[in-house]
């Protein structure tokens, strides 16, 4: 049986993130400035041709799939990132009072972009905040850490953009922010999950200790037109 999260971007673009979607019933992508992720209804030559015809310009895009040997013709594979998809399997963690976690809004976008430049969590653009749920830890006027939501795939919501300022690592900010995201999603009746690179063994191990379980291997393919 195919699980919604086997094709997480398609599930998001046809459910919780559909207000951010462009495309058709074969191929979809996020509106400009939000994210470079695209998806097809299923991995077929016809659907990847539809994606080719639908996505404008010559931009490089990224697709999530459980297929370790994808043939996305007529697209060319420009790179791949092997990783894991992890599901939270625990009770909501207790709230930590200090330092306080603040809701991030449009006025904070410049600080968010600067933080992701210094500590890249993955693609983060001027309109990525539209996914919602972003929270941060401020030390004075400095955004020292943040985390938020990305793919809203039906009952599942991905925790993403977890990053810490290089001058403030090792203080537990990432763990505190992830726990805050878990509480936020649980209170909304959603199941938290996330993606982690296979070569980031330290993060993978930390997520396991926090109550996440590895659901499946997940590959991100970078695709370009030639």
For the segment 57-98, what is each residue's pLDDT rounded down to a tens digit? 888 999 999 999 999 999 999 999 999 999 999 888 888 777
Task: Give the pLDDT score at 154.
Answer: 92
Structure tokens belonging to residue 84: 């894991």
Question: Which structural domains are found in the chain, ordered by start?
Answer: 4-83 (no CATH), 86-215 (3.40.630.30)
Q: What is the DSSP string of 20-65?
A: GEEE-SSEEEEPTTT--EEEESSS-HHHHHHHHHHS-TT--EEEEE
User: How many whole angstroms separate alpha carbon 158 and alpha carbon 190?
Assistant: 10
For the segment 190-212, what is each residue's pLDDT rounded down to a tens digit? 999 999 999 999 999 999 999 99
- What percent of the chain has a predicted confidence (pLDDT) above 70? 100
H-helix or E-strand containing 202? helix 201-210
User: How many whole angstroms separate alpha carbon 97 and alpha carbon 108?
Assistant: 22
Q: Name the nearest CA neighbour of 181 among 170, 163, 169, 193.
A: 193
Question: What's the chain's average pLDDT?
Answer: 96
User: How many whole angstroms separate alpha carbon 50 and alpha carbon 60?
Assistant: 16
When pLDDT is cut at 50, 70 and 90, the band that residue 1 belongs to is low
Rg for the chain, CA atoms, rounded: 17
The pTM for the full model equals: 0.94
For the segment 2-31, what is each residue's pLDDT rounded down to a tens digit? 799 999 999 999 999 999 999 999 999 999
Question: If you ran DSSP here, which 8-state letter would residue 130 be given?
Answer: G
């Amino acid at each position: 049986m195919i699980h919604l999260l086997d094709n997480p971007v398609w599930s998001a673009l046809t459910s919780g993130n559909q207000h951010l979607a462009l495309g058709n019933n074969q191929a979809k992508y996020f509106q400009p400035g939000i994210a470079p992720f695209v998806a097809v209804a299923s991995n077929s030559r016809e659907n990847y041709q539809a994606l080719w015809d639908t996505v404008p310009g010559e931009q490089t895009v990224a697709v999530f799939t459980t297929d370790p040997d994808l043939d996305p013709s007529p697209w060319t594979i420009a790179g791949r990132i092997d990783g894991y998809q992890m599901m939270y399997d625990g009770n909501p963690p207790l709230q930590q009072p200090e330092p306080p976690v603040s809701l991030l809004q449009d006025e904070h976008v410049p600080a968010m972009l600067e933080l992701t430049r210094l500590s890249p969590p993955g693609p983060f653009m001027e309109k990525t905040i539209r996914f919602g749920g972003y929270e941060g830890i401020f030390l004075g006027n400095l955004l020292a850490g943040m985390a938020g939501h990305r793919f809203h795939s039906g009952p599942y919501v991905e925790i993403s953009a977890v990053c810490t300022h290089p001058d403030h690592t090792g203080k537990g900010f990432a763990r505190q922010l992830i726990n805050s995201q878990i509480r936020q999603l649980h209170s909304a009746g959603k199941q938290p999950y996330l993606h982690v690179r296979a070569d980031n063994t330290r993060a993978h191990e930390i997520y396991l200790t926090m109550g996440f379980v590895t659901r499946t291997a997940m590959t991100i393919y970078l695709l370009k037109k030639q």
